[in-house]
Homo-oligomer: A and B are copies of this chain.
């Protein structure tokens, strides 16, 4: 049976959860999926780095408390040393789950580049590398005979990219509309309940949905990156971030939401794109007062959904979690499974 050696770049919530899945359910996964997973390297800003060609003791690694210990005490280094580890560790696949700067996609983009440059396939949960450097990184993977998967970049493990890529054969996709940010959707829901914008944001922060600086969620920057990914991946567009018009929800008042409610509508922050008759693609993020019978009007709380507009089927919608540690760790697992399936096909065709 095939065993893939993997490196976990970033040992925060997502990759820790993936490590827990492998540690506790590795046998089950091996039985169900036909391959094994062995973690041979971990790097983390706070914990440092550890490489073990024969496989890292995951239970031990998971017990390390960031801030109180580093991998130096366990035969590794106190430094993350990402470039060296990514380039030289004996992994087949890099699971990239660090962080990303929405301006240039760093440092995640470099992590992906180093991996592809040194012969390793990559799965990432970071939007930045895909939204801002997707075409370059996909070409790099193709040229090197490697895989670059990123289901978790949009709606965590909810298979929204694979849904549209795999299950619409023979259909033309005209465009999509999505609720792609749980925090802003939660805030709008609480404003419908009567809270002011500031109260709703504060509550979202207290519940752990919103960051200390909620700008990325509230002002639509997060959705903008996701729309860019979906438009380029699914509509064959070649857009850059500046092509996606962006407007957030901070101008909406409880009065606007009450007014919409009395007209049978709900305000939602909608990320959308459509293919124009001339073949170009227009994409945007903007609040919209959706009628209640719209497929996205019922998407409540921190849930996400994308509604695809097709020629023969009309609107088809996928809804599911948009975030979460386990949900995002599953995205990485589903990416590895996709690589395994593609590899099995390639082997069969060879």
Contact = CB atoms under 8 A, between A and B. Distances in A.
Interface string A247-289: 0000000000000000000000000000000000000000000
Main secondary structure of the interface of A (DSSP, over half): mixed
A73 to B, nearest CB: 32
A106 to B, nearest CB: 29
A265 B299 CA distance: 15
A326 B298 contact: no
Contacts of A67: none
Contacts of A293: 300-301
A236 interface: no
B316 A319 contact: yes
A34 to B, nearest CB: 10
Contacts of A61: none
Task: Report which residue of A301, A305, A330, A345 has the largest number of chain B beta carbons within 10 angstroms of its beta carbon.
Answer: A330
- What's the number of copies of this chain in the assembled complex? 2
A205 interface: no
Given A170-B29, A301-B293, A337-B169, A315 B320 contact: yes
Nearest to A315: B320
Interface residues on A, range: 35 or more
A171 B345 contact: no
B166 A167 contact: yes
B157 A167 contact: no
Contacts of A334: 169-170
Q: Which of A299, A305, A312, A318 has the most CB of B within 10 A?
A: A312
Contacts of A76: none
A83 to B, nearest CB: 31
Given A313-B327, A313-B330, A316-B319, A32 B292 contact: no
Interface of A: 21, 29, 32-33, 157-159, 162-163, 166-171, 292-293, 295, 297-301, 303, 305, 312-321, 324, 326-327, 329-330, 333-334, 337, 345, 348-349
Which 6 pairs from chain A and chain B are nearest by CB? A298-B298, A316-B320, A159-B167, A293-B300, A317-B319, A312-B330
19 contacts: A21-B312, A157-B312, A158-B313, A158-B316, A159-B167, A159-B168, A167-B167, A169-B337, A170-B334, A171-B330, A295-B303, A305-B317, A312-B327, A312-B329, A313-B326, A314-B324, A316-B318, A318-B319, A345-B348
